[in-house]
Amino acid sequence: MKKPTIKDVAKLAGVSFKTVSRVVNQEPNVSESVKEKVLESIKQLNYQPNHTARVMRKAPFSLAFVYDNPNSHYVIEMQNGIISECRKKGFELVIHPTDSHSDEVGNELAAMIGSNQIGGIILTPPLSENKELVTFLLSRDAKVVRILSGEQPPDKLAPVLHVDDVDAGFKMTQYLLELGHRDIAFLGFHASHESSLGRVRGFKKAHELAGLSFDKNFIIDGEFTFESGMDMAKQVLAMPKRPSAIFACNDEIAAGAVFMARLNDLKVPEDISIIGFENSPFATQTWPHLTTIDQPNFDIAATAAAMVIEMMKSNDVHVVDSKGFSLEVVIRDSACKPSL
């Protein structure tokens, strides 16, 4: 049987083939009634758009997810969220890990844009925090959306999807304070990570609003890994005054802290409460299951992809506004009132 063409669709729908092309490419200025007729005709004929033809006429229909993050759960959830939106809109995704510290990262991405028909880019931290890189990509006519930690966008350079780590850090610390904890350690401070800085600001804010002081020695520098969580927990558990609770900057750190507590013959949460952040698989693979902050990476990524695609379709960076995500506490089994 002959494969249906765009002209067959146009004939069945009673419109021009250019109108069918606009519907397939999700371009504006097509009425809903016409769009419905075209989509119904496409369905009846089982018409498959020719993406190769789109490439030949140099119309970008791919976007890139660019990251430098060792957290495999974060990367996979982001990737899945972006792919879900791309499939809905008929766009392709290029996944590109890179070294954010490299002097060549800008040229590397510029080459990728030129060779892969990429019109949009989603940047995650720490790449999204690099204003020079964002400016460079914009100069190459890429549509850029940045995923950043913050209560609001830091500038108007390009649209931002900002995650309120300050508020989340405040909520989690407030939860521990309401349980009665007064000696809380913060594990995972990292001066170059905006997410860590936001969470520790929320930690301090909760103490200040409650009229309580906190021990600065309980704020421990470290990486967002299980091994670092063990090392940081070992430090605070060896202090003369042991904390009654640990606020870990992510679930991997929290899982490492739980393991170290066990090595020190401490029960969680009876002897020490330990909470995490992100609601990753570590939160339910660890026993007891972790009280944590739910960070919906899939939804965040899907929203960022929708923003980029809208800009690519309209060829206008001003067609979308920055958006914010607030995060909530998920209460499980790893925290309770402190023992007397």
The predicted-structure confidence for 255-271, as pLDDT tens digits, reads as follows 999 999 999 999 999 99
pLDDT tens-digit readout, 294-324: 999 999 999 999 999 998 888 777 788 999 9
Pairing, β 219-221 against β 273-275:
unpaired
**Position 234, amino acid:** K
Q: With beta carbons less than 8 A apart as the criterion, state whether 255 and 229 touch.
A: yes
Torsion, Cα 288 205 189 292, to 10 degrees, reads 20
Domain locations in the chain as residue ranges: 6-49, 58-164+297-324, 166-295
pLDDT tens-digit readout, 220-255: 999 888 999 999 999 999 999 999 999 999 999 999
Instruction: Label residue 284 exposed, middle or buried (CB < 10 Å: 0-12, 13-18, 19+).
Output: middle
pLDDT the model gives residue 116 = 63
Q: With beta carbons less than 8 A apart as the criterion, state whether 261 and 232 touch.
A: no
Torsion, Cα 329 148 81 292, to 10 degrees, reads -20
Which is higher by pLDDT, 147 or 99?
147
pLDDT over 90 percentage in the chain:
51
Q: Cα separation of 72 and 90, whole Å?
A: 26
Spell out the CATH class of 166-295: alpha beta
Place of tokens 């800085």: 197
pLDDT tens-digit readout, 148-189: 998 888 888 899 999 999 999 999 999 999 999 999 999 999
Residue 236 belongs to what H/E stretch?
helix 226-237
Which is higher by pLDDT, 119 or 60?
119
Q: With beta carbons less than 8 A apart as the criterion, state whether 35 and 24 touch.
A: no
Provide the b/e sequence for 139-165 (b: ≥16 CB within 10 Å): eeebbbbbbbbbbebbeeebbbbbbbb
CATH superfamily of 58-164+297-324: Response regulator (3.40.50.2300)
Q: Cα separation of 86 and 108, whole Å?
A: 23
Query: Which numeric CATH code is attached to 6-49?
Result: 1.10.260.40
Report the first-to-last Cα separation within the chain, whole angstroms. Answer: 80
Query: Treating both helix axes as pointing N-terminal to C-terminal, what angle do 32-45 and 6-13 enclose, rounded to 10 degrees?
Result: 120
pLDDT the model gives residue 191 = 81
Query: 110 φ, ψ to 5°?
Result: -60, -40
Q: Which of 63, 64, 61 is nearest to 24 (CA)?
A: 61
Pairing, β 292-294 against β 328-330:
antiparallel
Comparing 6-49 with 58-164+297-324, is the CATH topology the same?
Answer: no
Q: pLDDT-derived band of residue 69, with 50, 70 and 90 as boundaries?
A: confident
Q: Provide the sign of the torsion angle of the four alpha carbons 302, 303, 308, 314, taken in this order.
A: positive
In three-state secondary structure terms, 1 is coil
Which is higher by pLDDT, 317 or 63?
63
pLDDT the model gives residue 108 = 81
Average pLDDT over residues 81-102: 87
Which is higher by pLDDT, 59 or 331?
331
